[in-house]
A and B are shown apart, each in its own frame.
Chain A
Amino acid sequence: MKIHEYQAKELFRNFGVPVPEGSVAFSPEEAAAAADKLGGFPVVVKAQIHAGGRGKGGGVKLAKSRKEVSSLAGEIIGMNLVTHQTGPSGQKVRKVLVEQGLDIAKELYLSILPDRATATHVIMASEAGGMDIETVAAETPEKIIKVFVDPLLGLQAYQCRQVGFGLNLPPAALKPFFKLLTGLYKLFAQYDCSLVEINPLVLTADDNVLALDAKLDVDSNALYRHRDIQEYRDIDEEDPLEYEASKHNLNYINLQGAGNIGNMVNGAGLAMATMDIIKLAGAEPANFLDVGGGANAEMVENGFRIILGDENVKGILINIFGGILRCDVLAQGVVEAAKKTGLNVPVVVRMEGTNVEEGRKILAESGLNLITAVDLKDAAAKIAEIAGNA
């Protein structure tokens, strides 16, 4: 789960990771009041959305007066911010973070994340801060320091030194940096983070280190033990259909593209492969939807509703591998769900597995616009034909 910068900075403060003074504001008036508390200018007004690249998109501005703070906040709040991470449709800004300006000597990079290949926690740091770290990794990999922390032992003092000296910090900044890194690691481990990232981490003219930006993602599977993080969820930042699907425990991803073929599949791998096969047949998938290994009638019904909520959808492909779940039971579920949702687009159903003949018979005799496919290739060809006619 993603959270906002201002929320991540709240957590940073709790763990002794220094951040600039500042507070969140929902209106130009609140922004001006927030600037008053900082006791000086310039201040920075930063759009709060769940996407990176905000500065380049025009969502981060420097203000030299109280008047400028409220006028900039007025421009940013309500704007549709488009960044490389939001997609072309952008994301509406509903709040800004108002922060003190700093006297920056150097911009650095620091992050911690689980490393799946080594089963450790990896700390990544670089003197090339403020830039996209993927670019740094691709062009100048020697500028990235990686330190691997044993999850059973936790961060050791020598590892802090490896990072601190590796960053060529001035001697006076080392102690504050060790404290920052220790706090950041504690936060990372305690809150089941899938990423904590500070880009840039700034070294000030007076040898202090602060997190100028803050990015923090929490492992969704661990949210049950972090009630306080659940409170941070911001539904405005989520696709409405994806939010609806999450309420029904459905794995749905709206592909936000030109796709017009909805698809519903049991199992994540098969769902991805089904999207791929739609594309190979010359059509475009509109979504990913995994109804789970043990799909039932209710889940199929919810799935139909969510897919049909996307007005681009002109046809649906259902691909179910009925293993222990019998195909006749599934077919019955599809028919019931189709009747209840008042299905108004053609549906191609490909079922395989136990009792498949009975299942196909139920679909054929339902009197509904359900087209049966015998195998995957057949299903893809039939759905592509529908897409071609749509």
Chain B
Amino acid sequence: MSIFVDKNTRLVVQGITGKEGQFHTRHCISYGTQVVAGVTPGKGGQKMDDVPVFNTVADSVDKAGANCSLIFVPPPFAADAIMEAADAGVDLIVAITEGIPVMDMLKVKNYLKSKPCRLIGPNCPGIITPGQCKVGIMPGPIHKPGGPIGVVSRSGTLTYEVVHQLTQKGIGQTTCIGIGGDPVNGTNFIDCLEAFEADDETRGVVMVGEIGGDAEEKAAEFISARMSKPVVGFIAGLTAPPGRRMGHAGAIISGSSGTAQGKIDSMKAGGIHVCENLGSLGDLCAEVFK
């Protein structure tokens, strides 16, 4: 078991002929992901390695049976690419692109309300079900297949760090999801926690947050009210100054809201095992999930 992606996922890569698109498509394929199509408008009929390229996402769905899209389209065109994928009827859209204007994402998010699909990202590393399917840019080999722990995070390399520590301790992962560092994103912590709670194979979750917004506070309420599985949490940005965007567009303390301490307090109150020192996260997980 796993959540959102597995060995049956049939992937189309939007922006497959670009430098990033080519590079990461090859890594997804070598990990074992079924990449059934690519899309680059105007390059329909060509091939990227052995992957057929189409002009539109709709064609990739009709002709290659794609049900999940991975987006490497540059920021000015990325919102359009997400809406195209949703309109074409894929079930899952994973947007890697960093730097999409907030106004565009507000429109996309409202547009998606009427579509039966899930968006992960943007500005994220993607999603991986170790040993089955990698839809993203994360390094495959640091993961350990077979579960029993789910990982959900707003970050990229920080997620790799967490996964690496789990693997070093011999703790495998069911699915690892980067939900992205932008202020307006698709799938949120609660969506993932709910899915992990319902997944038979997942026995616990590691949740990695950071400063900005109140997604961690809301997740803490959800965990306290609705989750039976143990959750280990980590929040980055205790030393971040207020009013500054810390690399991620969404990582900003506004006035007195969105602070790391506030999130840590909410998470502790929600019964989450909060790790205060990233260096000890693996140890804490080994203890909580034993």
Contacts and interface: CB of A to CB of B under 8 A. Distances in A.
B142 interface: yes
Contacts of B41: none
A165 B8 CA distance: 56
Contacts of A321: 157, 160-161, 164
A273 interface: yes
Interface stretch (B61-69, B84-92, B169-177, B209-217): B209-217
B183 interface: yes
Given A119-B184, A151-B107, A267 B155 contact: yes
Most chain B beta carbons < 10 A, residue from A151, A288, A352, A380: A151
Interface in A91-147: 114, 116-117, 119-121, 134, 138
A290 interface: yes
Interface string A270-300: 1111011111100001001010010000000
B139 A354 contact: yes
Given A114-B184, A352-B164, A269 B158 contact: yes
Nearest to A117: B214
A253 B246 contact: yes
B240 A324 contact: no
Contacts of A225: 76, 101
B138 A323 contact: yes
A330 B224 CA distance: 43
Interface in B107-155: 107, 109-111, 125, 137-139, 141-142, 153-155
Interface string A339-379: 00000000000001110000000000000000000011100
Given A152-B111, A352-B161, A380-B279, A273 B106 contact: no
A266 interface: yes
A224 interface: yes
A151 B161 contact: no
Contacts of B251: 268-269, 272
14 contacts: A114-B106, A116-B250, A119-B110, A221-B249, A222-B102, A222-B104, A268-B251, A269-B153, A269-B155, A272-B210, A278-B239, A288-B246, A293-B157, A321-B164
Q: Nearest 4 A-B pairs (CB), nearest first?
A: A268-B247, A269-B155, A267-B157, A323-B139
Interface of B: 23, 27, 75-76, 99-107, 109-111, 125, 137-139, 141-142, 153-161, 164, 181, 183-184, 208, 210-211, 213-214, 234, 236-241, 243-244, 246-251, 255-256, 260, 276-280
